[in-house]
Each structure stands twice: as structure tokens, then as C-alpha cells.
Amino acid sequence: MKYTLFISLFFFNFINAQNLKVEYEYVNKQDLSEYSSESSSTFKRQAEEKLKKAQKQILYFYKGNTFYKNIPTEGFENEKERKKVDERTTSITKESFVIKPIKIYHKKNDPGFYQYQNFGDEEYYKYYAPKFSKVEYKDNVEQIEKYTCKLAEVTLNSGGLVKVWYAEDFPVSAGPYVYNSFPGLVLKVESPNFIVYATKISNDGKETDFEPMNSKLKVLDQEKDKDKIQEIMKEASKVKETHTDIRL
């Protein structure tokens, strides 16, 4: 009887695991000074207050495909400097705080990801296949949202160490950002730059929650993405406004 019950429960979890909605809270740990050393102290203080607040992110899993997005908080804009050029002209320098939308797509059996990129008028998708230097599975366990999670320590190519907590109760390989190659649903990621952890897991996700990729946008690989960003930054440097885009 116990054996039969176990098989039934496992099958029930497996069926439900094919359609998941996981809500996460994201906490930023980065130093704002790395974004803009020229920003005013007022701007930095306001931006730091925004970044200290946990931000909501959502993972949708449907039939092996995943769509990960954030719920951006409202930004703000300050007037940094005002200079009178002549009697009719005044030069105004502004600084703005913007948290860009995160949209990451992973297709079933595809080794890579498609990440939406938005720089002003430039929109495209970056395709990349993450590679880790090392992945070590540990004996550590932690309870997250009533589920027992196991620990995998991931060493990035940059040398950074990331702790990934995954729940084998969900027989799927899915998780936030690029952390989807583990034997269970990833419920928590601890990296040097951020912490993201699950706050609610349900079967509320639907196929219609998957925002479709825009077929009109180009898909660039990592190398071309770097070239595109350098090109955009070069053009932006010609504009006498200070814009700080926080990419979380």
C-alpha cells in the first residue's frame, strides 16, 4: 500500500511539474558606484534605496519551455545641472534611474538562452549558452517554501562561486536566469552580485503567460552582442545626459 501511494504521489507531482509558475524575490548586492562615478550623491542615495528593495521576478515553465521575467519598479529622473548658454538657451543635464525589463527564453532541448536586450531604440535578442568551470553537488540541504533543497556549488568562468539550491520534488530542470541544468527546480541562487529565492510555487502558469519572442528582432550571438553594446555606448557618450540603466 505504501509503495503504491508513493508511486501515485510521484506521478501526481510529475504531472503538475509540467506547468509551473514560480514567483521569486530578487535582492541586489552590487555596488552602485560601478554604474556611474559621475552621478550626484542625491541620485546615488535615491538609487540605492530602490535597489535595497526586493524585486519580483517570475518563472513560467510549460512543457519543457521556460520564460523568465522581472516586474520592473518605477524609475525616476533628476535634474543634475543647469547651465545658461546664452540668453535664449539653457543646457540641462539629467540623470535617470531605469531598471530594464528582463525577458529570458529557453526552448526545450536547446542548450542556450534568448535574452531580450533593450538599449534606447535598439532592441534585439542575445543568444548564449552558459558554461561553468565546475559544478559540485554537496550534501547540504535547506528548506525553501516547505521543499527540501539540495546544494550545487557552481564555479563560473570568471572564478566566482554561486550556490544553487534545487528541489528534486519537481522533476524538471528549470530555474532563474541560466540556472536550469540541475536535477530539480531551482528555488534559490546565491551569487556574489545577487540573491534570488522562491516565495511561491503553483500551477497557475498558462501557455498564454509566455510572452512570445518578437520575430522581427534580430538574434545576435555573444560576440556580436558585445560589439553592439560598444557601438551603443560610443553613441551614448556623445549625448550630454547621464543615464544609469540598472540591469538586474
**Domain containing residue 91:** 20-130+195-238
User: How far does CA 54 lie from the centroid of its chain?
Assistant: 13
The pLDDT assigned to 33 comes to: 59
Chunked mean pLDDT (size 10), the chain, 248 residues: 42 57 91 63 79 90 92 77 74 78 92 89 90 94 94 92 96 92 95 94 84 92 72 62 44
SS3 for 223? helix
Grid cell digits, residue 150: 539540495
Residue 26 lies inside a defined structural domain of this protein: yes
The pLDDT assigned to 207 comes to: 78
3-class SS letters over 81-144: EEEECCCCCEEEEEEEEEECCCEEEECCCCCCEEEEEEECCEEEEEEECCCEEEEEEEEEEEEE
The pLDDT assigned to 182 comes to: 94
H helices present in the chain, as ranges: 2-16, 41-52, 222-236
CA distance 182 to 135: 10
**Residues with Cβ < 8 Å from 143, sequence gap 6 or more?**
149
CA distance 185 to 176: 9
Residue 161 lies inside a defined structural domain of this protein: no
CA distance 217 to 121: 12
- DSSP character at residue 158: T
CA distance 18 to 146: 20
Provide the number of structural domains found in the chain.
Answer: 1
Contact yes or no for 168/178 (Cβ under 8 A): no
Residue 163 lies inside a defined structural domain of this protein: no
- Conformation bin of residue 177: beta by default, left when phi > 0, alpha when psi is -120 to 50: left
Residue whose C-alpha cell is 512570445:
212
The pLDDT assigned to 222 comes to: 74
Residue 157 lies inside a defined structural domain of this protein: no
Residue 135 lies inside a defined structural domain of this protein: no
The pLDDT assigned to 143 comes to: 95
Residue 168 lies inside a defined structural domain of this protein: no
Grid cell digits, residue 48: 540605492
Residue 9 lies inside a defined structural domain of this protein: no
Burial class (CB in 10 A: 0-12, 13-18, 19+), 181: middle
The pLDDT assigned to 138 comes to: 96
Long-range own/partner contacts, residues 179-185 (CB < 8 A, 24 or more apart):
179/154, 180/66, 180/106, 182/152, 184/149, 184/150, 185/17, 185/20, 185/22, 185/61
The pLDDT assigned to 15 comes to: 39
Residue 55 lies inside a defined structural domain of this protein: yes
Residue 238 sits at φ, ψ, to 5 deg, of: -80, -15
